[in-house]
């Protein structure tokens, strides 16, 4: 478990793919962090989530008070999240927004873009910037900032525009991509729950396919 920062109130780490981000069941992030801390009863509380198959930065609270403060920041969007994605195809615009109405089918565990408002249909909004394009593989590197936090939001919004993320079998991509889902939690910005000062963390994805198609050293 790669812990990047730790103090009395927060813990910042890299979540591996295939690990559940919430709950404290065996093999979950909280369980793994407690083992890393060598304390089965350590206070480690989740304040935001990543899909199980998605990797990258996560922050956990080390006290109930810190969890409440950070959860409120998530609710009010003071807690900012940026992602990197490797998406199929070339984008027509180098930057823009995606806004949709999404409905999550709990039985299929899959979100859908809806054309009309309805029961449990929620607005989804994100901003994106295309950082690079690999012509040989027809793959774009995209930086994404979420303005809402819907289930599978990035994955379904990109797939609905014919830009499915590489390796995302649930939303139109497939095994032929030769990788796990190419979505990485790249940057987190929030107010420290004790000092109230702005704090930010960033970490690039590992230099493996498809990230190695691009020059990640130029990220800022």
The catalytic residues are 51
Instruction: Count the Cβ atoms, other than its own, within 10 Å of residue 199.
Output: 16
- Please check whether residue 15 is in contact with residue 31, taking contact to mean a CB–CB distance below 8 angstroms: no
β-pair type (183-191, 55-61): parallel
Round to whole Å and give the CA distance between 102 and 20.
23
CA angle (22 as vertex; 161, 147 as ends), nearest 5: 40
Helix (H, G, I), strand (E, B) or coil at 93: coil
**Closest C-alpha to 148, from 220, 14, 48, 46:** 48
Instruction: Please report the DSSP string for 167-204 in residue order.
Output: T-GGGT--GGG-SS--EEEEEEEEE-TTT--EEEEE-P
Q: CA separation (Å) from 199 to 9, 12, 23, 78, 148? A: 13, 11, 25, 11, 21
Instruction: Count the Cβ atoms, other than its own, within 10 Å of residue 114.
Output: 14
Round to whole Å and give the CA distance between 204 and 206.
7
């Amino acid at each position: 478990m790669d812990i990047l920062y730790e103090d009395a109130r927060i813990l910042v780490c890299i979540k591996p793919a295939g690990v559940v981000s919430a709950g404290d069941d065996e093999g979950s992030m909280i369980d793994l962090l407690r083992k890393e801390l060598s304390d089965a009863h350590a206070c480690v509380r989740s304040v935001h989530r990543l899909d199980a198959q998605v990797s990258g930065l996560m922050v956990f609270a080390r006290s109930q008070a810190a969890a409440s403060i950070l959860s409120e920041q998530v609710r009010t969007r003071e807690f900012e999240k940026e992602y990197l994605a490797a998406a199929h195809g070339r984008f027509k615009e180098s930057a823009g927004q995606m806004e949709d109405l999404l409905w999550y089918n709990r039985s299929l565990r899959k979100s859908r873009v809806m054309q009309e408002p309805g029961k449990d249909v929620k607005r989804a909004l994100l901003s994106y910037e295309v950082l690079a394009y690999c012509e040989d593989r027809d793959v774009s590197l995209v930086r994404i900032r979420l303005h809402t936090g819907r289930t599978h939001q990035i994955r379904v919004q990109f797939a609905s525009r014919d830009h499915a993320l590489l390796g995302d079998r649930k939303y139109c991509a497939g095994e032929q991509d030769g990788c796990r889902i190419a979505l990485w939690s790249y940057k987190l910005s929030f107010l420290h729950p004790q000092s109230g000062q702005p704090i930010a963390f960033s970490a690039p994805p590992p230099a493996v396919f498809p990230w190695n198609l691009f020059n990640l050293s130029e990220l800022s």
